[in-house]
Amino acid sequence: MKLSLIVPCYNEAEVLPIFRKAVQDVRPQLRVDELEVVFVDDGSRDATLSILQQFNREDASLRYVSFSRNFGKEAAIYAGLQHAAGDLVCLMDADMQDPPSLLPEMVGACLDEGYDTVGTRRSTRSGEPPIRSFFARCFYRFINHISDTKLVDGARDYRLMRRPVVAAILAMPEYNRFSKGIFQWVGYKTKWLEYENVERAAGETKWSFWKLLKYSFEGIISFSTVPLALASFMGMLLCVIAMVTIVVLAVRHFLDPMTAVYGWTSLVCLIMFIGGVQLLCMGILGQYIAKAYLEVKKRPIYIVGGKSE
Ligand code: UDP
Ligand code: MG
């Protein structure tokens, strides 16, 4: 039984030694014959790559794949899954926010309790700016309302999987990757573990508010077509309103032709409103077309710049 840890790293030079130490500490408690760590250097601009090369020289089970530039965490996850050889594969962050001390319990759930995959979620969002928590909650409520793929609030990408689950995920080679959705979409018998939110050990988060907002749109567009239906619905609704208005105005015109002169304010409001709704619907349409456009180009999800033997 071999366990692979997949660790996406983007400018994580500060935490890598801490991470390595933590994995070493937990190793004796892991009931697996072999352990390998696949670090994915996501085009870091600091010393991350040289540290990983050093790790690999000291210990051949610490492997790495390095990208030619920053492709994002989703690409790093995909690359890691492709390069991992283990029967059990675990995704985790380098910054210690996914505590390695949880690994023995996760492995146990797969080996003893017959689960195919073990997911983790944060029981609290403490230590996070309140505004970020608020938007996160809104996002989960919204997407779970409109998508058949139900996402778990607070779920992290810290996840242990058996080989068949990994194969199922690798069989989804889509370019616009939203892992939280993909994990749920493939299904399998899943156990959820909860833990308290941990602050990152060193370095800083790579996710700005805008990056997260963009990521949430990615999730909605990748896993739901409801916004498209919403656009058609708004169109229909406006048509019905227009027909009623036409009848009312026509009748009024014949009863008293002079009233039409008073309509300037309402006319301008209507033009603005309908113009807005039209642009919104075109925008929604555009989002899906853009995703389809990127998808049909069939560009590689990442490009390898170098890797360990
Ligand atoms: N990460 C990555 N590529 C990126 C951004 C982040 O591989 O473009 C990695 C990062 O090195 C870390 C993990 O993804 O191991 C989570 O990132 P971070 O801790 O910044 O996110 P947060 O925990 O704040 O959500
Ligand atoms: Mg983090």
Binding site membership of 73 for ligand 1 (Cβ less than 6 Å): yes
Which ligand neighbours the alpha carbon of 11 most closely? 1
Q: Could you tell me the distance, in angstroms and rounded to a whole number, from the CA of residue 95 to the centre of ligand 2?
A: 5
Using the CB atoms, write b or e for 44-75: b if 16+ within 10 Å: beeebbebbbebbeeeeebbbbbbeebbbbbb
Which ligand neighbours the alpha carbon of 215 most closely? 1
Binding site membership of 125 for ligand 1 (Cβ less than 6 Å): no
pLDDT by residue, tens only, the chain of 309 residues: 899 999 999 998 989 999 999 999 998 888 888 999 999 999 999 899 999 999 999 998 999 999 999 998 999 999 999 999 989 999 999 988 888 989 999 998 888 988 999 999 888 777 777 888 888 888 888 888 888 888 888 888 999 999 999 999 999 988 888 888 899 899 899 999 888 877 777 777 777 888 888 888 888 888 888 888 888 888 889 889 888 988 888 888 888 777 666 777 788 888 888 888 888 888 889 989 988 998 999 899 999 988 887
Which ligand neighbours the alpha carbon of 43 most closely? 1
Q: Which of 142, 141, 155, 136 is nearest to 207 (CA)?
A: 136
What does the DSSP 8-state code read for residue 182?
A: H
Q: Is 118 helix (H, G, I), strand (E, B) or coil?
A: strand
Angle of the 16-26 helix axis to the 48-58 helix axis, nearest 10: 30
**Contact yes or no for 198/96 (Cβ under 8 A):** yes
* Residue 230 burial class via C-beta count within 10 angstroms: exposed 0-12, middle 13-18, buried 19 and up: middle
Domain spans in the chain, listed from the N-terminal domain onward: 2-221+300-307, 226-296
114: left (phi over 0), alpha (psi -120 to 50) or beta: left
Q: For residue range 36-55, what is the model confidence (pLDDT) as tens digits? A: 999 999 999 989 999 999 99
- Nearest-CA residue for ligand 1 atom 24 is 205
Q: Could you tell me the distance, in angstroms and rounded to a whole number, from the CA of residue 93 to the centre of ligand 2?
A: 6
Binding site membership of 95 for ligand 1 (Cβ less than 6 Å): yes
Cα–Cα distance measured from residue 265 to residue 262, given in angstroms and rounded to the nearest whole number: 8
* Nearest atom (ligand 1) to Cα of 205: 20
Q: Could you tell me the distance, in angstroms and rounded to a whole number, from the CA of residue 34 to the centre of ligand 1?
A: 26
Cβ partners under 8 Å of residue 159, min gap 6: 90, 91, 117, 118, 119, 120, 183
Q: H/E element holding 190? A: strand 190-195
Whole-prediction pTM = 0.80
Q: Regarding beta strands 155-162 and 117-122, do their DSSP bridges make them parallel or antiparallel, or are they unpaired?
A: antiparallel
**Helices and strands of the chain, counted as H and E runs:** 10, 8
Chain-centroid distance, C-alpha 241: 39
Binding site membership of 97 for ligand 1 (Cβ less than 6 Å): yes
Residues with Cβ–ion distance below 5 A, ligand 2: 93, 95, 97, 200
Report the top-level CATH class of 2-221+300-307: alpha beta
Q: For residue range 96-145, what is the model confidence (pLDDT) as tens digits? A: 888 898 999 999 888 898 899 999 988 877 777 788 888 888 888 888 88
